C-alpha cells in the first residue's frame, strides 16, 4: 500500500482484511509510513496523516507517536489543519500528558481569534481535556467569552466553564456574575446554559424559580411551544438544576415547593412533552426536602402514568415507584390495583417491573389478597420470571403469613405450579417450616403425597415428601384424612427411583426414605430389601454406596429391628390361672381388660385391674406373660414383678 493513500482507501483496505493478522499487517505498514512522513519537513500531508492515525487509534492500536503532531497542527494558521489538530488533542492527549501543556498558549490565542469557529474549537478542546493548570491559566478568557454577544460562543464558553469549575471548584465565584446574566437570556439558544448554574451557589434558586413560573403560568419563548407545553426542554433543565441545588438544603427546598406544586397541577400529561416535565417534577420532589402533601401528589402523578398507553411511560413510572415505595409505602399502596394490572402487560420489561413493585407492596394487611394475584401471575408468567416470582412469594409468605397452615398451603401451591423453577434452598426451608408445625404434619404429608403421585417430575415435592414420610406414620394413618396403604407409598417411591426424570439427588432421597420405612412397616420388608438391593450395582457411585450400606444393615443388623414398635396397632392377649400361683391365704380377683388393641407409638394404652386379699402379709411376686399380634405376626413376652410396695403385703 502506498504511503500517500487516502484515508478512505485505508479504511477500505482495513475493512477488507480477512483475518486479524492481515489487519495488523496493514496497520503496521501504514503506521510506519506515517512515522516516516512525520519526520520529514512539512509537505502538506500532516493533517491527512494525523486523520489516518486517529482512525487507527479508534481501532485500538497504539497512536501515541502522533501527540506532537497534534501540537504542531493546532499552531497552524490554516483552519483545516487546526481542526484536525484539535480533534487529535481531544483523542490522544489528557491532563497526564506533558504535551497537553504545550497547547495552552495556542488555545489562549485561538480564544481571541476573529473566527467563531476557531474559538469554538479551542473551547471544546479545553472543556474536554483541560488540566487544572490549563483551567487556572485560561479561566479569565472563558469568563470574557461568557459575556460575548455571540450566542454560539456563549454556549460553548458555558460548557467549558462547567469543566473548569469541576477541575478547580474555587473558580466558581469567578463565573457567578456572568451566570446570573445568562439566566435572564430570552434567546432559546441560551437554554442549554442553564446546566452551568448547578456549579453556582443556591442563591440562583429564586431566579430559576421565576423563570420556571414564567414558563408554566404566562408562557415563555412561544416559538418553542411543543404540544401546548412552553419550551419543555428548558423546563426539564431547570427542574434538574433545582433538584441539585435543593438537595440537602432546607432554604432552597422551601423556595421550590410552591413552584413544584404549580408545575404538577398545571401541566398537561396527555402529551409526551407534558409527561417529560411531570416526570422531572416527580424526581425533583422526591430528591429534595419536600412537604408530605407534595410527595403524595408526586406519587399520584406516577399513578396516572401507569394508565398511559405508552409502555415506556408505564415503565419509568414503576421504576420511580420502586425507588420510593420504602419511604412512601402508603402513598404507593393506593395504586396497588393499577400496579397489579400491569402484571398482565405484554411487554416483558413492564411485567418485570410490575412484579418487583407488587412484591414490595406486600404487607401484613394485604397479604391474602395480593398473594392471590401473585399466585395467579405465577401460573402464566414467562419462564424467565418464574424463579424470581417464586423467591419473592416465599419471602413475602415467610414475613407476613397470617397462619402456619396458610403459609404451608401457599408454598405447596407454588411447588405444584412451578416446582421446577424453585431454588435449591427451598427444600430445607420448607422442611423446617413443616417440622415446627407438628399439628399440621398429617395435613401436609397427605397433600404432598397427592402431589407426588400426580407429578413425580417436581424434584422439590419429591425431596420434601421423601423426607416427610419418614418422620412419622401420618401418611399411613390419620384421623382427619384417608389412610394410605403401605404398598401405595412404596409404589410412589419406587416410581421415583425408576423415573428417567429423577436426578441422582432425588433418587438418593427416595432410596433413603424407602430404607427408613423398613423400621415402620413389617410385612413389606422383603419388598424394601429387594428395592434397595437393585441399586447396589447402580452406575451412580453415591447411590451405589448408599444401597450397599443399606443392604449391609439388612444382613448384619436385622435382629436389632424393634418389632414391638412397628405397625399401625397391636392386638393383645393377656393371661395370668398357670403362671401365677398365690399362697392359699391370698385371694385373687382379676377384672376384665380395658381393651384388646393398643395404637402404635404410645398413642394409647390397655389396663387390667388385679385385686389381692393378703391378710398374712405374705411377700408377693408375680410373673406376667403378654401375648400380642402385630400385622399378623404373633409375639409374646414374659416378665417377673417382685417390687410390689410394702403396703400391699
Pair (551, 597) in one structural domain: no
pLDDT for the residue numbered 468: 56
Closest CA to 352 of 342, 337, 363: 342
Q: Kindly state the cell numbers that stand for 509.
A: 432421597
More confident residue, 613 or 81: 81
Pair (451, 561) in one structural domain: yes
pLDDT for the residue numbered 491: 79
pLDDT for the residue numbered 161: 86
Name the domain boundary from 566, 601, 636.
Answer: 566
User: For residue 487, is it within any domain?
Assistant: yes
* Structural domain count, the chain: 2
User: For residue 260, is it within any domain?
Assistant: no
Pair (550, 628) in one structural domain: no
Confidence of residue 123 (pLDDT cuts 50, 70, 90): very high
pLDDT for the residue numbered 575: 35
Residue 496 burial (CB count, 10 A)? 26
CA 46/CA 53 separation, integer angstroms: 10
pLDDT for the residue numbered 465: 55
pLDDT for the residue numbered 574: 36
In the predicted structure, residue 478 carries a pLDDT above the cut 80: no
Mean pLDDT of all residues in 524-528: 80
More confident residue, 569 or 171: 171
Name the domain boundary from 510, 535, 566.
Answer: 566
User: For residue 623, is it within any domain?
Assistant: yes
In the predicted structure, residue 170 carries a pLDDT above the cut 80: yes
pLDDT for the residue numbered 56: 92
Domain span at residue 604 reads 587-648
User: For residue 526, is it within any domain?
Assistant: yes
User: For residue 432, is it within any domain?
Assistant: no
Confidence of residue 57 (pLDDT cuts 50, 70, 90): very high
The region of weakest confidence among 184-188, 433-437, 574-578 is 574-578
In the predicted structure, residue 226 carries a pLDDT above the cut 90: no
The region of weakest confidence among 197-206, 220-229, 458-467, 565-574 is 565-574
**Averaged pLDDT of the chain:** 79
More confident residue, 475 or 25: 25
In the predicted structure, residue 195 carries a pLDDT above the cut 60: no
Pair (507, 617) in one structural domain: no
In the predicted structure, residue 458 carries a pLDDT above the cut 60: no
More confident residue, 589 or 560: 589
Confidence of residue 200 (pLDDT cuts 50, 70, 90): low
Confidence of residue 141 (pLDDT cuts 50, 70, 90): very high
In the predicted structure, residue 545 carries a pLDDT above the cut 80: yes
Strand partners, 498: none
Mean pLDDT of all residues in 10-30: 90
- Judged on CB neighbours under 10 Å (0-12, 13-18, 19+), 243 is buried
User: For residue 504, is it within any domain?
Assistant: yes
The region of weakest confidence among 114-123, 201-210, 397-406, 605-614 is 201-210
In the predicted structure, residue 230 carries a pLDDT above the cut 50: yes
The pLDDT tens digits for 388-416 are 888 888 889 888 989 888 888 888 888 77
DSSP per residue over 545-610, as a string? Answer: HHHHHHHHHHHHSGGG--GGG-SSEEEEEEE---S----TT-EEEEPPPS-SEEESTTS------E
Give residues with Cβ within 8 angstroms of 151, minimum separation 6.
187, 189, 190
In the predicted structure, residue 481 carries a pLDDT above the cut 70: no
Pair (449, 500) in one structural domain: yes
Name the domain boundary from 521, 537, 566.
Answer: 566
Pair (448, 505) in one structural domain: yes
The pLDDT tens digits for 439-456 are 777 777 777 777 776 665
Prediction pTM value: 0.57
pLDDT for the residue numbered 564: 42
Assign 3-class secondary structure to 345-384: CCCHHHHHHHHHHHHHHCCCCCHHHHHHHHHHHHCCCCHH
CA 475/CA 460 separation, integer angstroms: 18
Pair (449, 550) in one structural domain: yes
CA 269/CA 308 separation, integer angstroms: 9
Amino acid at each position: 500500500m502506498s504511503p500517500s493513500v487516502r484515508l478512505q482507501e485505508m479504511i477500505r483496505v482495513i475493512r477488507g482484511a480477512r483475518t486479524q493478522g492481515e489487519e495488523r499487517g496493514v496497520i503496521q505498514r501504514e503506521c510506519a509510513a506515517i512515522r516516516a512522513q512525520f519526520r520529514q519537513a512539512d509537505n502538506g500531508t500532516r493533517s491527512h496523516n494525523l486523520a489516518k492515525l486517529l482512525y487507527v487509534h479508534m481501532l485500538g492500536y497504539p497512536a501515541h507517536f502522533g501527540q506532537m503532531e497534534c501540537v504542531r497542527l493546532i499552531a497552524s494558521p490554516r483552519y483545516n489543519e487546526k481542526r484536525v489538530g484539535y480533534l487529535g488533542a481531544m483523542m490522544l492527549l489528557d491532563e497526564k500528558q506533558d504535551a497537553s501543556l504545550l497547547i495552552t498558549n495556542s488555545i489562549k490565542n485561538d480564544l481571541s481569534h476573529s473566527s467563531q469557529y476557531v474559538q469554538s474549537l479551542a473551547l471544546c478542546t479545553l472543556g474536554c481535556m483541560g488540566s487544572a493548570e490549563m483551567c487556572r491559566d485560561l479561566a479569565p478568557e472563558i469568563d470574557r467569552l461568557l459575556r460575548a454577544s455571540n450566542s454560539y460562543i456563549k454556549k460553548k464558553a458555558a460548557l467549558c466553564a462547567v469543566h473548569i469549575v469541576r477541575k478547580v471548584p474555587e473558580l466558581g465565584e469567578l463565573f457567578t456574575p456572568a451566570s446570573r446574566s445568562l439566566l435572564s437570556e430570552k434567546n432559546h439558544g441560551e437554554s442549554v446554559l442553564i446546566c452551568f448554574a448547578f456549579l453556582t451557589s443556591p442563591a440562583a434558586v429564586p431566579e430559576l424559580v421565576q423563570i420556571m413560573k414564567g414558563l408554566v403560568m404566562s408562557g415563555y419563548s412561544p416559538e418553542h411551544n411543543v404540544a401546548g407545553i412552553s419550551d419543555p426542554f428548558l423546563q426539564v433543565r431547570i427542574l434538574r438544576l433545582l433538584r441539585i441545588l435543593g438537595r440537602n438544603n432546607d432554604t432552597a427546598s422551601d423556595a421550590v415547593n410552591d413552584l413544584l406544586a404549580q408545575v404538577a397541577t398545571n401541566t398537561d400529561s396527555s402529551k409526551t412533552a407534558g409527561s417529560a416535565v411531570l416526570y422531572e417534577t416527580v424526581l425533583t420532589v422526591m430528591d429534595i426536602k419536600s412537604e408530605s402533601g407534595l410527595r403524595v401528589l408526586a406519587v399520584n402523578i406516577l399513578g396516572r402514568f401507569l394508565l398511559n398507553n405508552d409502555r415506556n411511560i408505564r415503565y419509568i413510572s414503576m421504576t420511580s415507584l420502586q425507588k420510593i415505595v420504602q419511604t412512601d409505602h402508603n402513598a404507593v399502596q393506593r395504586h396497588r390495583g393499577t400496579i397489579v394490572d400491569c402484571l398482565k402487560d405484554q411487554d416483558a420489561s413492564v411485567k418485570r417491573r410490575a412484579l418487583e413493585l407488587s412484591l414490595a407492596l406486600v404487607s401484613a394487611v394485604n397479604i391474602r389478597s395480593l398473594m392471590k394475584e401473585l399466585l395467579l401471575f405465577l401460573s402464566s408468567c414467562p419462564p424467565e420470571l418464574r424463579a424470581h416470582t417464586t423467591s419473592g412469594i416465599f419471602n413475602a409468605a415467610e414475613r407476613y403469613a397470617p397462619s402456619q397452615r396458610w403459609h404451608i398451603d401457599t408454598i405447596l401451591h407454588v411447588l405444584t405450579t412451578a416446582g421446577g423453577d424453585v431454588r435449591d434452598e427451598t427444600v430445607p426451608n420448607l422442611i423446617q417450616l413443616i417440622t415446627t408445625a407438628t399439628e399440621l404434619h398429617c395435613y401436609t404429608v397427605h397433600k404432598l403425597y397427592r402431589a407426588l403421585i400426580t407429578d413425580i417430575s417436581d424434584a422439590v415435592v419429591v425431596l420434601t415428601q421423601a423426607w416427610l414420610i419418614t418422620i412419622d406414620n401420618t401418611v399411613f394413618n390419620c384421623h382427619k384424612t384417608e389412610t394410605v396403604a403401605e404398598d401405595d407409598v412404596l409404589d410412589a417411591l419406587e416410581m421415583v427411583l425408576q423415573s428417567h426424570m429423577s436426578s441422582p439427588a432425588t433418587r438418593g432421597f427416595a432410596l433413603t426414605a424407602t430404607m427408613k420405612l423398613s423400621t415402620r412397616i413389617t410385612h413389606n420388608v422383603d419388598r424394601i430389601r429387594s428395592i434397595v438391593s437393585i441399586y447396589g450395582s447402580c452406575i451412580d457411585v453415591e447411590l451405589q454406596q448408599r444401597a450397599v450400606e443399606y443392604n449391609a444393615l439388612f444382613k448384619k443388623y436385622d435382629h436389632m429391628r424393634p418389632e414391638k414398635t412397628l405397625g399401625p396397632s397391636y392386638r393383645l392377649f393377656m393371661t395370668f390361672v398357670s403362671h401365677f400361683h398365690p399362697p392359699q391365704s391370698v385371694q385373687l380377683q382379676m377384672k376384665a381388660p380395658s381393651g384388646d388393641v393398643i395404637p402404635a407409638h404410645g398413642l394409647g394404652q390397655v389396663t387390667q385391674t388385679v385385686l389381692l386379699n393378703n391378710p398374712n402379709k405374705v411377700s408377693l411376686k408375680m410373673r406376667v406373660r403378654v401375648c400380642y399380634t402385630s400385622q399378623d405376626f404373633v409375639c409374646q413376652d414374659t416378665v417377673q414383678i417382685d417390687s410390689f410396695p410394702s403396703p400391699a403385703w
